[in-house]
Amino acid sequence: MKMGRAKAHALATHIYGHRMKTPILGITLFSLLATPLAAAAPSYVSEAPIAYMTDLSSGAVLFSRDADKQIPPASMAKMMTVYVAFDLIKKGELKLDQTLPVSAETWKKWNNQGSSMFLAVGSKVSVADLLDGIVTLSGNDACVVLAEGIAGSEEAFVDMMNKKAREIGLSNSRFGNSNGWPDEGVTQVTARDLATLATATIRNHPKLYKRFYSKGSFTWNGITQPNRDPLLGKVAGADGLKTGHTDEAGYGFTGSAEQNGRRLVMVVAGLDSFNGRVDESVRFMNWGFKAWKSVPLFAKGKTVDTAPVQQGSARELPLVAPRDLALTLPRTADTDKVSLKVVYQGPLKAPIAKGQQVASLIVSAPDMQRQVMPLVAGEAVEEAGFFGRLWAGILSVFGA
């Protein structure tokens, strides 16, 4: 099989002193991409019963404790409500300046019930203000008003939440309401799924994420309330996401920060105090940046390799990085023995859309589990017509 482009090999050689290994055929892509693999982590002792951290540049899991245990999310469930709204805004089906009514029934049930935006009965509130009320103030009332305004009822909106959760890969979570209020165990999530939700929010809706998730406070109806995010102002680059607390769930937090182009997502849950959540969140995120380092591999749009295409308008396809790709290693690790390998199920079959994920880049290092990163089609390949397929068949017979 033809090796990848010399440029990609040269880059790999420049970084590691190794050439790219020949791509392997017959590997099922899904099995490689289904679950990010944990790297051998530097030592960390977490105060949280449940804790999880991943590096978005590599997909490496830096820390995991009971990450797949189902737990009540409390207000961290609101990230799912916000994600559904973001998705509708992106599609043009919901407008930020669109106003939604506060019904008397909703006001009676949720006014000053737990965290509140203090919405006025009978008022109309813009989607943008409701999102600020949810993200910054953790308003239970704001969640229900938004849900009812979008879907007609909170129950119908919850169906949308669960459908969207499945679409983005929350494989072990379910939602029973829009705000995470205790519901006799119906709403359950895992730390890994919360990190997946945070990652999807950051990657799929970067402008909306930046607009709504990093405000230090928000004022509504003459009342200013601070954001409870324990990282804001304490960890460089911190810009989201969501805290949660109930007697049943304890204190939890799903957070993210970016430093020098490297973004981490963390989850802690089950802590027993507000201050404990602050201390552990700050310590955990600082450990993620200080104990680990990121080694750049390929810039977004860079061709990593090529792959043969069957029955297509082109005989080969460039495999490119969909985003900046980097390897995550312990701070003291040696990079001299790192190897790169491209794998896919091939030859690839047309039609193939530009940007479609078709392969994986596997990075291996001594004493560490491999890190798997996606590669996408650098261009579209249409299915060949009859004569094109005939000619490809002739060429294959003669080994051309």
* DSSP symbols for 78-101: HHHHHHHHHHHHHHTSS-TT-EEE
Parallel, antiparallel, or unpaired for β 238-246 and 250-259?
antiparallel
Phi, psi of 220 (to 5 degrees): -140, 135
Contacts of 3 (CB under 8 A, 6+ apart): 9, 20, 22, 305
Residue 242 annotated as binding?
yes
Identity at 352, one-letter amino acid code: I
- Per the rule left: phi > 0, alpha: psi between -120 and 50, beta: everything else, 118 is left
Q: Which of 58, 78, 173, 214 is catalytic?
A: 78
Please choose, from the candidates 266, 249, 87, 272, the residue with its C-alpha nearest in 3D space to the C-alpha of residue 194. Answer: 266
Report yes or no: 318 and 379 within 8 Å, Cβ to Cβ: yes
Of 258, 233, 231, 254, nearest in space to 243 by CA = 254
Active site residue 78: yes
Separation of alpha carbons 373 and 60, rounded Å: 9
Catalytic residue among 115, 116, 138, 214: 138
Catalytic residue among 57, 75, 173, 256: 75
Q: What's the full length of the chain, in residues?
A: 400
**How far apart (Å, rounded) are the C-alpha atoms in residues 123 and 336?**
63
Residue listed under structure tokens 């304490």: 234
Is residue 233 exposed (0-12), middle (13-18) or buried (19+ Cβ within 10 Å)? exposed
Q: How far apart are CA 96 and CA 99, in angstroms?
A: 8
Which string of DSSP letters, residue by residue, matches 201-261?
HHHH-HHHHHHHS--SEEEETTEEEE---TTTTTSTTEEEEEEEEETTTEEEEEEEEEETT
Report the C-alpha gap between 161 and 369 in whole angstroms: 34
CA distance 145 to 135: 14
- List residues forming the annotated binding site: 242
- Which positions are catalytic? 75, 78, 138
- List residues forming the annotated binding site for substrate: 242
